[in-house]
Chains A and B, each alone.
Chain A
Amino acid sequence: MFSSDTAVWIVFPVILPLVAGLLCFLFKRGTFGIALAAAIGNFFVVSFLIYQMLVYGPMRCYIGGWHPPLGISLRSDGPALLMLLMTAATGLAITLYARGYFLFRISDPLRAQRHKRQQHYFWPLWMLLLTGLNGLFLSADIFNLYVTLELIAISAAPLAALSGKPASLRASYRYLLISLIGSLTYLLGVVFLYRSCGVLDLALLQNLAGNRLAITTALVLLTVGLMLKTALVPLHFWLPPAHANALAPVSVILSALVVKASFYLLFRFWFEIFAPIISLSSLNFMGTLGALAIFWGAIQAMRQQRLKLMVAYSTVSQLGYLFVAFPLSMFVDGGQAWSIVVFIALTHACAKSAMFMVAGNVYLHLGHDRIKSLKGVRSSQPITVFAYGIAGVSLMGLPPSGAFIAKWMLLSTSFASLQYWWAVVIAGGSLLAMIYVFRVMSNFFVIPEGESSKKNVSLSPLLEWPPLILALISLFLGLISPWVLKIVLYKDSGLFAQIFQGGLP
């Protein structure tokens, strides 16, 4: 099924950005070139890995030839590769957008120096973050995962602080603390697990996890740590200020990718490693928190006066759908449960990136992002507004977006399992999303009275096209769902059987 020769490709998504990050630290010039090369390379490697998986099946690579329980291993399967693809595609768009963003800011002579400095820090940190994300999706043991979580935390927090304004410094300081608390809670869980099972490898843990107190405690600790990082209501308080006060490209990274990473891990724990000891009531508890998140986030999003805060609260709301999938996933097979969350995550990653990019463009264009004063933006920035509209439609889960497919599966599961209240939550959430999306949209459409003497800055294609393309991807994701499903379903159990043939205790 796999051989070490072909499996070696799996390390490149980790190595490429890592090397690029180091190079960006070393060189003063050409950092964008290095980052772009890494982003493009990453995209191609991930595409190749998917192709490889479709041909050879899921893979594992033992670094240095050390097999578990001793060595470090990376593994690829359908969901992991799709998350990698999500990261690679949005990552490429983010890289291009960030370039346009910094060039635009640097062209302003008043603040050129400051923005040059920001850009100088941005590229290596972003590459490091990409390393952490890729590592997280590929890692196959819980300690390694801790390392990647830390890597993400220590690169994301400085990124959030880049803008240097007091508000963003405060927010990012809090973000750093929360991330560290989350990581430490997670680490504590890892310790409990290691004490009781003696292994760190996920596949081995899956077979050893039983209904013991130590393991239940470990699971609770892991879950709380990751919930904190995923910003599930009521642990979401840190997210809106951190996301809304960062520079536009950083907001995109944090909102589209970083929160997904910890969620991905949480879902793996709940539905693969610890699936046998999960009770229905705990799933319902998570689902209830998710429902609360959907409503609370949406209501807050409706009340915001600033576009970026609105988009940030919409993230809180949209993350709720991922958790509503918990109780419903009990009633479908593993492949379908994964496809639900993968569809939500992919759509949200693309749509939310587009939205934060749009918010950034509006800010660059008007010098503010007050929702009440967005008049006339439609006529001066048609592409940006169009991208906003399409991304909004995807967030609302209208067909044919990927979120629609996910909602369809959630709804049909809730009807098939006679849990009608989830249907109400899901349908109600879309309506609330409609309200906050179109509240902004209608302001874009207002034709300003009198002459529009606003400073008419034209934005470069680097700023306009990435959000549009991402928004279109999120909208048409539903149409390519057969392929997505096909990839998600690559999760054969034969993988684990083969490991045990290797003569482990």
Chain B
Amino acid sequence: MPSGPEQAGRKRARGAGGSRPRRARRTRTRDARAAAGFVLPFLALFCLCFLAPLGYALHQSLHRTERTGPLGLGREHETFAGLANYAHALADDRFLAGFGRVLLFGAVQIPLMIVLATALALLLESASARGVAFFRTAFFLPYGVPGVIASILWGFLYVPGISPLVKIADSLGWHLDFLSRGTVLWSLANIVTWQFTGYNMLVLIAQLKSVPGELYEAARIDGASAWQVARHIKIPLIRPALQLTGVFSIIGTLQLFAEPMVLRPLASSVDSGYTPNLHAYSEAFVGNNPQVAAAEAVLLALVACALSFGFLRLAGGHAGERR
């Protein structure tokens, strides 16, 4: 990209007319070329895998299919629909209910998971921790299990007649139903928590490792207890990592898909629009209405965007005040 300094350089080169600036210019072009070489693959992939689908989804969401001929068996053609697909999506109670459900899910599951991840990270990074490598791997392991497999696995633990948990509880006279309307959301939350706590813990540990040891020493010399060190030094210093895991979790929650999709055949309480993503999937692949699905996907992206930035602003603002 031609920037200010380069233009200035060009002017100087014209003025002096010597050979040295020209060589410098050649070097600069070579640098620019090298930089482009590094950036282009990324840009190409970014366009192909991110911008193009986004643009296509936007395009789709603004169009509708019209069918002609008797019984619609004639040709079909696409026409501009304005915001009709968005209106259709927003008028769908099930779609909106899915949003409400996911927000409730996030409001409970995300804080729980992050508190748990933070606690685990602090425990594993405390001076007296033993078997750190083993536990770190053990806690992280569920993240290596794909969401679909994890859901199948937990599904077996939830389904009555098969689940040992239900059987044991039954023999104690305690009737557990993991898949009823009221409980299934929390059964899903359990799967997600199981999967991602270890991952978030690892992000937090990475940040903890970058805290200089002198800070702890100083605190200890001042007579701070382990709790006080955690509360006043460690947690404030890993705030960026907490924000990061928070944003990841918000986005992940809004995209909740694999878990309800897998549990759906097992539990009729999970309906076709249980989460916004599942609703869009059903519209696209069951109803064969790609344009409405695209509108729903765009709406989902907007909400994810708003919530993520809202969260960052909120979390960031607090940090600023404290400083």
- The finding on whether chains A and B are genuine partners in a shared complex, rather than unrelated, reads no
Residue numbers of B with Cβ under 8 A of A are none
